[in-house]
Structure 1
């Protein structure tokens, strides 16, 4: 029995309720964004005439240049950065950029060492140091490049004077590589002509690849950016264009335009952006604020930026009101890039996106594409205040930025699309999915210690499910009165949050029984979450740390003994509002509308009553809670807390259910059964059961839409897709005939696609799975011709549905050729192939055989490594597969796993749990699917 608390049968209120002035609840959610970064290319540009520097030091020591964090001796104030990216290769075939930079910094403590980040840059002129005070600057004695810690160490003959300011000037050259990090190039073809874009992705530690800088989030400064570029191109940066020479000047016998931008606000290096392209744009002005959407000219001409433009102003205005702080910049530029490893990046005033995250085509893009665009726009615009205006001091508190933005994105999207009821989807999109990660013993707290997050790959690893999809819910009064206003243009740690929240609580009329820090530290400083068990017979309520494999032990101890303050709300049969007491004769349901981050278990009698009400009067239970009951039951069963057959019985009512959320919850959980059993005798009876349940849903949408019309509601459109996808995958003949007919019609006339936009992903996958080389090759041809990014994504994913192993093997090889599959899409394509039962062993063999190449090509800092490792191992459920996974870890230890280190550990833990679960449940599950009761 876990530690908990007792509540009498006739009472029943549990939890901590803070004062009305401010409420804070930490809830961990799931990953929506796979914000990914690439490792820098191993090759350095070595221009003629470059300054020779001493051989890099590699031996560890206690010297400051062997530490991963900058010393606090210097504080940057302003930068002047001039860059000239070449959009044509030089004689050696390299794309390069040249630059010069000066940084003015103040000496905080006297020192004879200047440490500044510089990665893959070659100095073409000896750096110079100038004093801005009354004393002359010390003479530079030597310069050493430390490639491991990515420092340029400038040793001085004398010490800098504390309190004085100095200016460091550098000239350098770097490669404008295609590695998707720092200052890099993106390529695309338009009307058969190759186009090159010079663009940036600085987060988290790649500004140092563009120019020497103090590349830590707390090292804020003002940036003056100047770009040299071809006269036929347009230059963009964080600030507004301040000056552009009308008459071209000559540099190295090349005519260029010089564009100077207004100085930025005080900001962190990771939020910098500068782009040179020949993109087109559309714009509007709202209350003197300039809003622009940039993209390939072809996409702009096709109107693909119109939807983003139409919602941006609404969302910005919403956040101004929500924060009660005006938007702090004079412009809001958003740009869609053909090559971009992240989903989007909140660069202050110049937000960068994947094309699928910003561009929408009314005829081709789906309802899901539209939702993705509006939520990601809202997420990035939320950061313009929470993250950019007020910034974390160090990456261990990333959740403070991303968790909040991941919550309020739903509020912003709801303002732009009020008929969607999109806030309800937080539970499905986020809460349920993060539970799976946070229920592992190898999970981690929201906030780690600073010393645990040091190296670039460790920083990249922080950008995971837990950090992104925790969310903090604050009242508007709290935000507008204290936090943002107090810390604007500055940095914070999470305890600052508690302090300001406590002030709001203290000023309210009621006094909470615990301090904010007492309550919230339990959610932030310890990993995991509780399962709350309610005994309706005795009134006893207990909590314990929920682990999918209870036999595992958390990797780290907790000073709070894995106890949480849990606010509990519940309802009873026929109750109009949630009540706080129990009645003996009625069913009880806790965590109404899933407002708390915990799972709920009941005594057997109450479970039976809930199962009965689902079958007989499901409308008595809110839709969100119908989904919650299913998700809780399946995961409690995986943990061995309740019987697996009880969890399966929560799906019996689906035969008459037409709402999206319960169906999606059931399908998400049944997917685990498919992963465990689609290579066993359980598969056939399971297919029959699921096919029988979905038949009613398929018939419902046939009557409602005849597969020609859209259902009326936002989530109804999603459920229509579910009906088609699952009916086809379980062998429904009417469904199979539909998708084959549509796909054949398209193959006969490639210029006219008869398949409705919402249904394309499901239809493409089903048709390719049922077809052969002819269908696959046609899809590849359409993929190559597609000009809308969302359509390319649908086809790219669908080609992984093929049933022929040789087609999938060929497709895997394509992922190593960026001319076929863009680098940004390589790992997700491999994961899609691994999701196919035929392709999983092929993908596993492929990744093992090519790990060294993949690791070097995509980099130790790439966020996609954790997704890749988890994606290719999620079906593992045998001792043989476990040993292969351990062997893979050991064989590649010398190469490393970068940001996938934790994913390896989690995959081993997950596989171990899968083995136990299959052994204990396979026979029972088979019997139940044969005779479901």
Structure 2
């Protein structure tokens, strides 16, 4: 699933809180969308339950229907599913669907019990039972003794009068109705307005555990089957599913003239990859006769405006790239991709019918930014990568989700790099994935990439895994692996892995086995096996800090934690030691490699002369941070100050990022970290500037309400003014767009930072552009690349008039990426009453779509004026949020994370503890995020107490030298 491809990758939306000041303006520029789900169902007929044991009695053994995992006694073979979604409300005002399903399954082990998932469905009773059972090929089916719905584990439980016979096959038939609700999970409805008419469509999101909300099914990824789908729908709509449709036929049902569309049987696949949609969309497609039919579906106006053209242009090349990369043909005959007005994640890799947010698939050259275009490219690449890795071959259980999503995240950059070779996407993965996730993985509340199956059972536990560790760290460690075994060998290992396990399920060790075979075949010598090396990176959380003493050649490693006083609660079987592939250069020479296999080693080649400098982790291919002796740090700083281009651009960003994080962990002085930014007044490259702005953003979060703020602003103004002037000249006084992809991003940084730092020319510029637009609302001449930061700056500098204009424009926006920019910028106002009004709007789905609620609240919280308002708001509204937005519409984890980032006082920490106590039973997928927020708050408190005075002194000294 694409995040924010959390995600996802989450979806990166630029909305700088220029009102907050310099770096807060830029870096609040990145709120990621993501993906989570779940809601509860209708009242079941309760099963008999055992009596509650006394406190002295041993716990009663769980009955099969009280366990969250299916028994291994039955294996589905195929489903025949027919569904009729109603796209108009009934007399009660509810949107409903009705359907029937017959699943053919094989008995593997004798059993007199059938457990099949069913949630939020009203099942039709046959002689008081919820289903009918029949034998296949002469098998005799026992009678149904009793049936009931077990709500806690979401099962339809069927007790039989006798056992099913191993080797025999049976068919279980059900009929049911359900609500086509707006919770963005299972079979749900999406609504939009076009030409003044409200339109409704029916669509799906099954991952990870919501197929059971559409029809009874064995809803686990290893329970693969073939699906035969039939959809009944209005005559003015079209039906789509994973496979190609047969010719639709006209039918009359209950007096309604309808269309019935049946589909070719799917390939053998998991339930979470099933998709079906009824809509009145249009499409553009590939040429007739092409090997694979490619269609891009969206609202008719979006298709008419050409918003699907870019996706159509790039899908074919990306598919071709992956066919070559995997050495395996695309396994289907078609690739439908559809942009939905309401969708919880960035996208979802349903086999043959990929679903997207509109912002993740549609691109309008006149209105969409360079960042919008990059996002569309990487999300498409991510989802297409899954067609083989995840869909054709599927991990057995959700504990290995990291392998599925981390892999797709990594290779999405390879696919995007192939389709857009001028963008240097292989470099941008460092900013987009690796640096951010290292900050999360440096917390004691992080978690290993891979868990034990028995530790991931409930839907809530599964949903918690859809986080940045899974996506971004997973991508980082696989990128590191591909680097030290070479990309060609990595690709060969993937090929044999896919060939052996196609249409089957795997565990991560199966991949290690095939990569080892490829390594052996290529004659590559590694210090340990692939499995032994990689298990240390996936079975224990965190990553190492590598310290190199260039005086002695000593190289050491230890577990890196942002808070040095953290107590790591989970023990590691590897004692937090890694096999670390260290790459390094001396004085800008040839790259060398050193494998650090123990806590400490000595490499005499790393012992330097007095004037030499050493740089490790070249291009940040390794997932570790680097510290040096003081002398080498000083020589690196001197090199940055004199000839910064001698250091590779990614490593200029890495030096900044490592130094700031080492300072937060009290490994180096904070002033050393700040000194790594001095060369920026001569730097024009995007990666170092973005790394600096991201890290200085932490200083603004901690100090923008203190006396440190003024000197910080003055320093940023000094450093960014040359960059602002550079882009002013490069763009001929802001009249043209930079040609280079990353220059377009850095132009945004220049304006955002300059306006936030009080560069008067910048503030006047953005306010004038916005005023001109307000005076001529039909003609917006602001560059799409600059709109987020210009809107934010102008709304921050303005008042109610600017806010109301932006709100009205947002409500009438027909292009999703433009609506997204306005939605973010509305959070930039300095007026508390406007922010409070916006908070109220966030939980009104007639004003803000449910999918955007968490983004809106966290964007408001990124504004220093809005943060306490947002925190008070979610505490006051938590019951409503949890119960009404507890499905696909809102990421609880992201909400808690975003609203608590500034917490750095004892008072705020106690408030967070109280929130945890008050809502212990209503945290759901936010449980882990809350623990991380508590740890981060403690770390922030300690860091502020330690650093307030030296930081104030350093910025004051820099400001006085202006």
Task: Tell me the TM-score range normalised by the shorter chain.
Answer: over 0.9
Q: Does the alignment pair 1:344 with 2:347?
A: yes
- Alignment partner of 1:136 is 2:140: yes
1:764-784 CA-partner distances (Å, limit 9, x unpaired): 000000000000000001001
Counterpart in 2 of 1:5?
none
Equivalent position of 1:575 in the other structure: 589
Q: How does 1:116-155 map to 2 (within 5 A)?
A: 116-126=116-126, 127-155=131-159
Give me the whole-angstrom Cα distance separating, in 2, the residues matched to 1:862 and 1:164.
Answer: 42
2:388 to 385, 390, 395: 385
Structure 1 range deviating more: 190-199 or 579-588: 579-588
| 1:851 and 2:846 matched | no
How do 1:330-341 residues align onto structure 2 when only pairs under 5 Å count? 330-341=333-344
Measure how far apart 1:42 and its partner are: 5.1
The Cα shift of 1:525 comes to 0.4
What is the alpha-carbon distance in structure 2 between the residues aligned to residue 513 and residue 652 of structure 1? Answer: 40
1:557 aligns with 2:571: yes
> How far 1:816 moved relative to its partner?
1.1
**Cα deviation per residue 1:258-312 (whole Å; 9 max; x = unaligned)?**
1000000000000000000000100013732100000000101111000000000
Alignment of 1:256-655 (within 5 A): 256-285=258-287, 287-469=290-472, 470-471=474-475, 472-473=478-479, 474=482, 475-479=489-493, 481-578=495-592, 581-582=605-606, 583-584=608-609, 585-655=611-681
- SS of structure 2 residue aligned to 1:158: strand
Structure 1 residues 43 and 162, CA gap change in structure 2 (3 angstroms): closer
The secondary structure found in structure 1 opposite 2:265 is coil
- CA drift of 1:518 comes to 1.3
Tell whether the 8 Å contact from 1:284 to 1:292 is kept in structure 2 after alignment: yes
Aligned to 1:23: none
TM-superposed deviation, 1:502: 2.1
Rounded to whole Å, the distance in 2 between the matches of 1:746 and 1:414 is 36
Which one of 697, 710, 717 corresponds to residue 691 of structure 1? 717
Instruction: Give the secondary-structure state (helix, strand or coil) at the position aligned to 2:457.
Output: coil
SS at 1:832's partner residue?
A: helix
Separation in structure 2 between the aligned mates of residue 75 and residue 863 of structure 1, nearest angstrom = 34
| Cα root mean square deviation, aligned | 1.6
For the structure 1 residues 283 and 30, does the alpha-carbon distance in structure 2 shift closer, same or farther, using more than 3 Å as the test? closer
Deviation of 1:497 after TM superposition, in Å, equals: 1.3
Q: What does residue 765 of structure 1 align with?
A: 792
Distance between the aligned counterparts of 1:890 and 1:775, measured in 2? 41
- Structure 2: gaps spanning 5 or more residues: 1-5, 12-32, 53-59, 483-488, 595-604
SS of the residue corresponding to residue 158 of structure 2 reads strand
Cross-structure match for 1:87: 87
Matches within 5 A, 1:765-914: 765-859=792-886, 864-894=891-921, 896-914=922-940
Residues 862 and 898, structure 1, Cα contact 8 Å, conserved in 2: no
Shift of 1:857: 1.4
Post-superposition shift, 1:255?
0.9
**1:510 Cα deviation from its structure 2 partner:** 4.6
Matching residue within 735, 749, 760 for 1:722: 749
> Shift of residue 863 of structure 1?
6.8
Q: Distance in 1 between matches of 2:88 and 2:263?
A: 24
Aligned equivalents of 2:222, 2:653: Cα separation in 1: 42
Give the whole-Å Cα distance in 2 for the aligned partners of 1:65 and 1:853: 30
Task: Name the structure 1 match of 2:73.
Answer: 73
For residue 503 of structure 1, report the CA deviation from its aligned partner: 2.2
Separation in structure 1 between the aligned mates of residue 452 and residue 299 of structure 2, nearest angstrom: 43
Paired residues of 2:80 and 2:228 also in contact (CA < 8 A): yes
- Tell me if 1:178 matches 2:182: yes
Aligned counterparts of 1:336 and 1:512: Cα–Cα separation in 2: 45
| 3-state SS of 1:625 partner | helix
SS in 2 for 1:447: coil
Corresponding residue for residue 106 of structure 2 = 106
Once residues 526 and 368 of structure 2 are traced to their aligned partners in structure 1, the CA distance between those partners, rounded to angstroms, is 49
Q: What's the CA shift for 1:481?
A: 4.3
Deviation of residue 43 (structure 1)? 5.6
- TM-score after normalising by structure 2: 0.92
**Kept in 2: contact 1:57–1:146 (CA 8 A):** no
- Which residue pairs with 1:20 in the alignment? none
User: Are positions 1:233 and 2:209 aligned together?
Assistant: no
Asked if the contact 2:656–2:673 (Cα under 8 Å) also holds between the matched residues in 1, the reply is yes
CA distance in 2, matches of 1:657, 1:189: 47
| Cα offset, 1:479, TM superposition | 3.5
Find the residue that maps to 1:388 and give its secondary structure. Answer: coil
| Aligned-pair CA distance for 1:785 | 1.0
Cα distance in 2 for partners of 1:243, 1:785 equals 38
* Maintained 8 Å contact 2:581/2:593: no
Deviation at residue 495 of structure 1 after TM alignment: 1.1
1:197-253 deviation line (CA, Å, top 9, x unaligned): 1000000000000000000000000000000000100000000012311xx211011
Contact 2:585 2:614 in 1 (8 A): yes
**Contact 2:318–2:381 (8 Å) recurs in 1:** yes
Q: Is contact 1:39–1:856 with CA below 8 Å preserved after alignment?
A: no
C-alpha displacement at 1:508, in angstroms?
Answer: 3.7
Return closer, same or farther for 1:900/1:579 CA change in 2, 3 Å cut-off. Answer: closer
- Taking a change above 3 Å as real, the CA distance of residues 184 and 30 of structure 1, as seen in their structure-2 partners, is closer
- Asked whether 1:924 is paired with 2:946, we answer no
CA distance in 1 between partners of 2:434 and 2:73 (Å):
43
**How far, CA to CA, are the matches of 2:722 and 2:710 in structure 1?**
20
Note the C-alpha offset of 1:482.
Answer: 1.4
Deviation string for 1:796-825 (max 9, x for gaps)? 000000100000000000011100000000
Tell me the SS of whatever aligns to 1:97: strand
**Partners of 1:476 and 1:680 in 2: CA distance:** 51
Cα contact 2:202–2:277 (8 A) shared by 1: yes
Does structure 1 conserve the Cα–Cα contact (< 8 Å) formed by 2:184 and 2:889?
no
TM-score when normalising by structure 1: 0.94
Query: Whole-Å Cα distance in 2 between the matches of residues 374 and 541 of structure 1?
Result: 40
